């Protein structure tokens, strides 16, 4: 075999390993994860669903974003804080592509992307996908929100394969699974009935949320951290919440992921046991400008798992140093230690 043939075979094999994500037709997109019109170099990326942007930080591709919903991401007319300045300064140059579920297709095409990232479960993207397909633009469809931890790690693997960043996503998944296994092994002998009752409070458009679709991921995280939870509710919409539901559950601990103190001043809030006992905990966030750094969001949720475990079972996890874990995570993600301006340590 000639040297040229050997090199050609090696090149073909390398490309086949780099791009193993399934490539399928636009008509087959519904509920699927994968590429249309792949492979992609991922050098000019448009993100039509901001909840998936954390995947690009895992892959070290955030600086390749050329279009996103800048207003939704709070990037519009704002001076960048430490996280964006340090890790993804080129986001300042991105173009606004419109609202979630209503991206301006002309703007998207004008940006000449070599990858458009969108969600799988919203039928509103079908028309856009068809236009992108006709223009031979690679589209990566992902489930990046409102799923389980298992869903998230599968999605991380998909984007790693699709963009040729499998070594990075494999390292991230291993780190996450190590955290899961650590926590699982330590709480295995704690009976469910003996575990502290933990409630999650959040808000959407001024209304309290205790369960429902928006809480699914964090519920999974809290359960794996050893919490006893209220019934989740399977309504696809956000389940309505009120003080009576919270008092009926009678939680030992409250996790506040609302980024708002609007219900702290209500007449009933101070009557809750966790409030009286100072056991209300705000989810940590490295940088208040960058919600991707919230420890309850998928990207940073391996840290959130350890943080929750220490809150719920302090004696069992008293040896876990969250600052040290945070430093290790940042080195894995960014090759350097970053500051934490949140409530974790």
Average pLDDT, the chain: 86
Q: What confidence score (pLDDT) does residue 139 get?
A: 92
Q: In this model, does residue 19 exceed pLDDT 50?
A: no
Contacts of residue 166, Cβ cutoff 8 Å, sequence gap at least 6? 17, 18, 157, 160
Q: What confidence score (pLDDT) does residue 243 get?
A: 82
Q: Read off the pLDDT of residues 32-55 as tens digits, 9 standing for 90 and up.
A: 788 888 778 999 999 998 889 999
**H or E element at residue 115:** strand 115-119
Reported as a pLDDT band with limits 50, 70 and 90, residue 253 is very high
Task: Give the Cβ contact number of residue 205 at 10 Å.
Answer: 6
Domains and CATH numbers, the chain: 3-172 (3.40.50.1980), 176-334 (3.40.50.1980)
Reported as a pLDDT band with limits 50, 70 and 90, residue 72 is confident
């Amino acid at each position: 075999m000639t040297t040229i043939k050997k090199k050609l075979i090696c090149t073909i094999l390398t490309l086949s390993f780099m791009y193993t994500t399934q490539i399928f037709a636009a008509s087959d997109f519904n509920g699927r994860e994968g590429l249309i019109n792949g492979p992609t170099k991922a050098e000019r990326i448009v993100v039509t669903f901001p909840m998936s942007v954390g995947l690009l930080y895992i892959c070290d591709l955030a600086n390749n974003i050329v279009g996103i919903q800048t207003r939704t991401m709070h990037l519009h007319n704002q001076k960048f804080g430490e996280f964006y300045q340090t890790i993804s300064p080129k986001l300042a140059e991105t173009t606004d592509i419109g609202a979630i579920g209503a991206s301006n297709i002309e703007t998207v095409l004008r940006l000449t992307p070599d990858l458009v990232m969108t969600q799988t479960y919203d039928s509103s993207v079908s028309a856009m996908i068809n236009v992108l397909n006709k223009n031979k633009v690679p589209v990566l469809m992902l489930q990046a929100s409102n799923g389980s931890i298992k869903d998230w790690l599968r999605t991380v693997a998909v984007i790693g394969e699709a963009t040729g960043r499998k070594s990075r996503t494999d390292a991230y998944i291993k780190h996450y699974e190590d955290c899961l296994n650590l926590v699982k092994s330590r709480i295995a002998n704690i009976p469910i009935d003996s575990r502290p009752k933990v409630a999650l409070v959040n808000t959407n458009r001024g209304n309290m949320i205790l369960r429902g679709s928006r809480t699914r991921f964090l519920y999974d995280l809290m359960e794996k951290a050893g919490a006893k939870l209220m019934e989740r509710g399977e309504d696809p919409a956000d389940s309505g919440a009120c003080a009576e539901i919270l008092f009926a559950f009678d939680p030992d601990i409250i996790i506040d992921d609302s980024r708002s103190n609007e219900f702290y001043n209500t007449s009933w809030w101070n009557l809750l046991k966790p409030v009286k006992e100072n056991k209300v905990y705000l989810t940590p966030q490295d940088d208040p400008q960058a919600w991707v750094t919230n420890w309850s969001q998928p990207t940073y949720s391996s840290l959130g798992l350890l943080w929750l475990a220490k809150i719920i079972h302090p004696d069992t996890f008293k040896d876990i140093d969250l600052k040290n874990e945070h430093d290790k995570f940042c080195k894995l993600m960014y090759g350097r230690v970053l500051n934490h301006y949140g409530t974790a340590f």
